[in-house]
Structure 1
Amino acid sequence: MASEFKKKMFWRAVVAEFFAMSLFIFISIGSALGFQFPLAGNSTELTPKIAIQDNVKVSLAFGLAIATMAQSVGHISGAHLNPAVTLGLLLSCQISIFKAIMYIIAQTLGAVVATAILSGITSSLPGNSLGLNTLSNGINSGQGLGIEIIATLQLVLCVLATTDRRRNDVSGSAPLAIGLSVALGHLLAIDYTGCGINPARSFGSALIMNSFKDHWVFWVGPMIGGACAALIYDYILAPRSSNITDRMKVWTGGQVEEYDLDGDDINSRVEMKPK
């Protein structure tokens, strides 16, 4: 922990997580709220067809926003932008415990700040929920938990697969693939839970709205999904050859190759760069 604490690159990465998370939340939730603003002279009612289009719009907004932020800061922090992704990479022994804690704090603070700003900008919107995640009518907490687990599992599995340094067959853009996975998760879960595959994003809305009903679902579900994805990928689908003792050393000291001797080499980051 001490070695990471002293590295400039480490703190740049934490700041990158906060900044990118703030932009991600502002863009994605802002897009989700936009269609609800009444337009002058437009009395069109919300039909089922329009509702379907809105689901696609929101899903694409979240997916494209995460892809853009991943492309922007992936070489600095790895662009986790999600506590469930951070947990998955922690259990995969790719980051230290200290880094995971700091990332989750930065992500959560970024979500709260962005949601608070959105609250001020959209204060005139009637019935504004700021993207608050809630269980749909007819969906109980157990069912919602299952939806969140599956939606997050496929996301974290995608992150682990597309950023696996052992692969040489990955073509195209890893951030885009991850963005599409986020969009897919929203298309699956948005009608059931509002899609809470990002606990920090869910927390930001819940805190600003002061509404924590069933909020545990949006932490437990994604965290279980992220943990399961890491265990499935690392021990079943693509087992690693390194000794488990050596891998667990990463939890206390971080990965040596992540930093140069001075901690200033931005090109030493390779987490989001597929070979």
Structure 2
Amino acid sequence: MVAFKGIWTKDFWRAVSGEYLATLIFVLLSLGSTINWAAGEEKPPPADLVLISLCFGLSIATMVQCFGHISGGHINPAVTAAMVVTRKLSLAKSMFYVMAQCLGAVTGAGILYLLTPAAVRGGLGVTQVNSQISVGHALVIELLITFELVFTVFATCDPKRTDLGGSAGLAIGFAVSIGHLFAIPYTGASMNPARSFGPAMIMLNFENHWVYWVGPILGGILAAGLYEYLYCPDPEIKKKLKQVFQKDSSGKYKEVETSVYLGEPEDIAIKSGSIHAIEVEKSEKKDPFRDSTGEVLSSV
């Protein structure tokens, strides 16, 4: 219960509802682009990959711009998992984010199912592995395109950078479009477990569905870990770790007693003008163990 203490706030539930609504709109609009209205013709044209890719990319860019300051604009369990491993969101709160994203995806896919004539509904955009490649290859494809997406998220929303300009939301949308242009023929280009879960639940088609969870989540975690801990580590965390671990006479690192408090994983600070807002909320003057009322804080 201590781990879940921090969820009982109005701001958190506003963020969760934002994730639900953003994912609902994203899935509804994006899956709509996969509907082939010429399916009833004698020789229906193939799916327009450029149309689908642009619709997915521009939809996610719009939702990030609309909901970034409310919930962080994850709209993707893989992004949420990346935030957890980089200590920007607690594990307890991430569970509610993922549930909201999946429920929003199911709702969006369900609305599209009801609005679309059965004759042209087809597979409702269910992601499927190309029969010419193996499931292992599909897993690698999903890992790579989600790696590209999550790395873009962290790079464009890095508060330590001073060279950024333009729209972070649009950059993220471009990353989604690029992944779709490349991977639609391979796997349908999920990049997002919730996006695959929604139509799969409505159509009750879960063939190789695990690929669209394992691949994106592994890709997101790998991208977040490499960016945060290898390529652009936080200098403050590095400084604190140096104070905790020191080399002994043999050259090995040894933990030493120190009064430095490394802290527990904190939640995303939603700041205006910062898309995805992946900064960690920091307070220099307050007791890190107590809130403004003097109540002892939990670890989430």
User: TM-score higher than 0.5 here?
Assistant: yes
Percent of aligned pairs sharing the same letter: 42
Question: Which residues of 2 match residues 195-214 of structure 1 at below 5 A?
Answer: 195-214=189-208
Match of 2:157 among 155, 163, 167: 163
Aligned partner letter, 2:119 = L
CA RMSD, 1 decimal? 2.4
Question: Which residues of 2 match residues 70-89 of structure 1 at below 5 A?
Answer: 70-89=64-83
What displacement does 1:246 show? 6.2
> Does the aligned pair in 2 maintain the 1:83–1:104 contact within 8 Å?
yes
Counterpart of 1:249 in 2: which secondary structure? coil
Match of 1:111 among 105, 108, 115: 105
Output the CA distance in 2 between the equivalents of 1:135 and 1:144. Answer: 6
1:78-117 residue CA offsets vs partner (Å, 9 max, x unmatched): 1000000111111111111122111111000000011111
Equivalent position of 1:193 in the other structure: 187
Structure 1 residues 39 and 97 mapped into 2: Cα distance closer, same or farther (>3 Å)?
A: closer
> Does the aligned pair in 2 maintain the 1:89–1:160 contact within 8 Å?
no
Aligned partner letter, 1:37 = W
Equivalent position of 2:56 in the other structure: 62
- TM-score under structure 1 normalisation? 0.86
Counterpart of 1:180 in 2: which secondary structure? helix
> Does the aligned pair in 2 maintain the 1:25–1:115 contact within 8 Å?
yes
> Does the aligned pair in 1 maintain the 2:72–2:277 contact within 8 Å?
no
Matched, 1:272 2:276: yes
| Runs of at least 4 residues off by over 6 Å | 244-248
Aligned partner letter, 2:12 = F
Q: Which has the higher contact order (CA 8 A, sep 6+)?
A: 1
Structure 2 stretches lacking a partner, 5+ long: 242-259, 280-300
1:218-271 residue CA offsets vs partner (Å, 9 max, x unmatched): 100001100110111112111122147966611xx535xx2xxxxxxx756845
Counterpart of 2:73 in 1: which secondary structure? coil
Alignment length (residue pairs): 256
1:32-80 residue CA offsets vs partner (Å, 9 max, x unmatched): 21xx11399x87742xxx64xx101000000000000000010111100
Structure 1 residues 173 and 274 mapped into 2: Cα distance closer, same or farther (>3 Å)?
A: farther
1:101-158 residue CA offsets vs partner (Å, 9 max, x unmatched): 1111100000001111111111423461111011112111000001000000000000
Structure 1 residues 136 and 163 mapped into 2: Cα distance closer, same or farther (>3 Å)?
A: same
What displacement does 1:4 show? 2.7
Equivalent position of 1:25 in the other structure: 27
Structure 1 residues 3 and 270 mapped into 2: Cα distance closer, same or farther (>3 Å)?
A: farther
